[in-house]
Chain A
């Protein structure tokens, strides 16, 4: 039995040095990617609702946020990339084994789909923007094309939404698979991260609807949806932890990061307590008629989603197969 192991590293700092490759840019990108996926799933699902008279935000206005939030995420990702002039190389190859390659191509599909989804409802949701774009494009003599594209999107609203849903789900899952595919980082190496990040992204998007909606009925419906999502997220986190706890020693060592190790308090306080439990409780109380600031729960959910990405990205980099 090895009672003690002392490892020193001579000459280079590459082994004993703190392994920290990804900073704030990647977790922020993963959060914004998940949020975009959530927004597009909601906006697409709402295309299939029966009543046309309500839910102005989730069924119309919301989709406009998607390309902007995604672009912000892409900017964040771009800031992380070290060989910036070669960023176009993502689109000169499709590597079937690389989640990042899948992600790059899915992102490319998300943009046109979200634009078509926006056009499908822009006339009703943003009449001002619609007429402005029309006027602007008439200078360029492109207004006819714009109107035709809008009419096409309106006519094929449900088809576009139906195509968007699987792509948005792929985007949401990809933000987790990106990390879980790294077998060398035990904390990340769980396929639970895919569904966990998808549900978290969806929950953040639902929280955004609760935060921005002006309709009581819409807020109430989405609050109920959010409670279900937060509960699901809690179950997924539990399953993720069980997966680590019942695996081999490297994975058990990874688990100690959040069960007594360096990230324990931040994981349980910022993700579980303030990101899941308290907002779920506040939402239940709100539905029961208690007078609680309606912005508090959704803000906590969104912050919790952000913390989830930051803490998991950090944890994965604090643990590896090497014993030194």
Chain B
């Protein structure tokens, strides 16, 4: 089974937003809604400040509260992978998954069903990278199979220090940030 993950280098990310625009274009995301977004975080005490820029999205967690809270099976894990998806034909728009996501990564489409990042699985099937990773001008976003020790994501995680966002929420996220 493939375990897809994303490794995002916070030392390279400049917060240009190309990933957000690429995602919106590729997936036809309606105005005002986003499957990915940029967070800029400044920490410290002047003059010792530290800034981190992150491109964030659904973490395609290994422990998925969004899938387990869905009453209809609309929220599901794509067979043969860990990609978390929503089947619009099964979704009632009850928003249990929206509430259950600690990353606030889900939203309701104007039609009423819930939508989110799919790791561009339609591109992944063709052997391509997700739209956000493919357009990143600084190559900060790397996508690949975490189960393959020779993949670039696995090698980056072996070579560099990394973190995940709120791991204490217990969902075992699969989007890693190099720090």
Can you name 23 A-B residue pairings with CB atoms under 8 Å?
A4-B43, A5-B41, A10-B38, A11-B34, A11-B37, A11-B38, A12-B38, A15-B39, A15-B104, A21-B99, A81-B94, A82-B92, A83-B112, A83-B113, A86-B91, A87-B92, A92-B72, A93-B71, A95-B71, A183-B102, A248-B168, A320-B104, A324-B39
**Known contacts being A93-B71, A95-B73, is A86 close to B93, with CB within 8 Å?**
yes
Q: How large is the interface on B (under 10, 10 to 19, 20 to 34, 35 or more residues)?
A: 35 or more
Q: SS class of chain B's interface: helix, strand, loop or mixed?
A: loop
Question: Which of A42-50, A97-105, A231-239, A286-294 forms part of the interface with chain B?
Answer: A97-105
Where the two chains meet, the residues of B that have a C-beta atom closer than 8 Å to any C-beta of A are: 15, 17, 20, 32-34, 36-45, 56, 65, 68-74, 88-96, 98-105, 107-108, 111-113, 165-166, 168-170
Of the candidates A2, A12, A90, A184, the one whose C-beta lies within 8 Å of that of B71 is A90
A108 within 8 A of B: no
Task: Decide: B39 and A10 in contact? CB cutoff 8 A.
Answer: yes
Task: Decide: B112 and A84 in contact? CB cutoff 8 A.
Answer: yes
Task: Decide: B71 and A321 in contact? CB cutoff 8 A.
Answer: no
A54 within 8 A of B: no
Where the two chains meet, the residues of A that have a C-beta atom closer than 8 Å to any C-beta of B are: 2-15, 19, 21-22, 80-87, 89-90, 92-93, 95, 97-101, 103-104, 181-185, 248, 250, 316-317, 320-324
Task: Decide: B99 and A6 in contact? CB cutoff 8 A.
Answer: no
Q: SS class of chain A's interface: helix, strand, loop or mixed?
A: loop
Distance between Cα atoms of A4 and B102 in the complex (Å): 23
A-B pairs, top 8 by smallest CB distance, nearest first, are A82-B93, A12-B37, A83-B93, A83-B112, A184-B102, A101-B71, A97-B68, A3-B45
Given contacts A9-B39, A11-B38, A181-B100, 10 further A-B contacts (CB under 8 A): A4-B44, A9-B40, A80-B95, A86-B91, A89-B92, A95-B70, A99-B69, A100-B94, A184-B102, A322-B102
Question: Across the two chains, which residue of chain B brings its CB closest to A84?
Answer: B112
B residues in contact with A101, CB < 8 Å: 71-72
**Known contacts being A5-B41, A322-B103, is A100 close to B15, with CB within 8 Å?**
no
Task: Decide: A14 and B70 in contact? CB cutoff 8 A.
Answer: no
Question: Across the two chains, which residue of chain A brings its CB closest to B36?
Answer: A12
Task: Decide: B99 and A5 in contact? CB cutoff 8 A.
Answer: no
- Residue among A93, A95, A98 with the highest chain B CB neighbour number at 10 A: A98
**Known contacts being A10-B40, A83-B112, A183-B170, is A97 close to B104, with CB within 8 Å?**
no
Distance between Cα atoms of A324 and B59 in the complex (Å): 17
Distance between Cα atoms of A80 and B73 in the complex (Å): 19
Of the candidates B41, B72, B95, the one whose C-beta lies within 8 Å of that of A6 is B41
**Known contacts being A14-B107, A22-B99, A184-B99, is A86 close to B71, with CB within 8 Å?**
no
Task: Decide: A322 and B69 in contact? CB cutoff 8 A.
Answer: no
B residues in contact with A104, CB < 8 Å: 71
B residues in contact with A98, CB < 8 Å: 68-71, 96
Question: Across the two chains, which residue of chain B brings its CB closest to A103?
Answer: B71
Distance between Cα atoms of A87 and B56 in the complex (Å): 31
Distance between Cα atoms of A82 and B112 in the complex (Å): 5
Question: Across the two chains, which residue of chain B brings its CB closest to A19?
Answer: B104
In the complex, what's the smallest C-beta–C-beta distance from B106 to chain A, in angstroms? Answer: 9
Question: Across the two chains, which residue of chain B brings its CB closest to A82?
Answer: B93
A residues in contact with B90, CB < 8 Å: 86, 89, 92-93
**Known contacts being A12-B20, A21-B98, A82-B112, is A182 close to B69, with CB within 8 Å?**
yes
- Residue among A3, A10, A320, A324 with the highest chain B CB neighbour number at 10 A: A10
B residues in contact with A92, CB < 8 Å: 72, 90
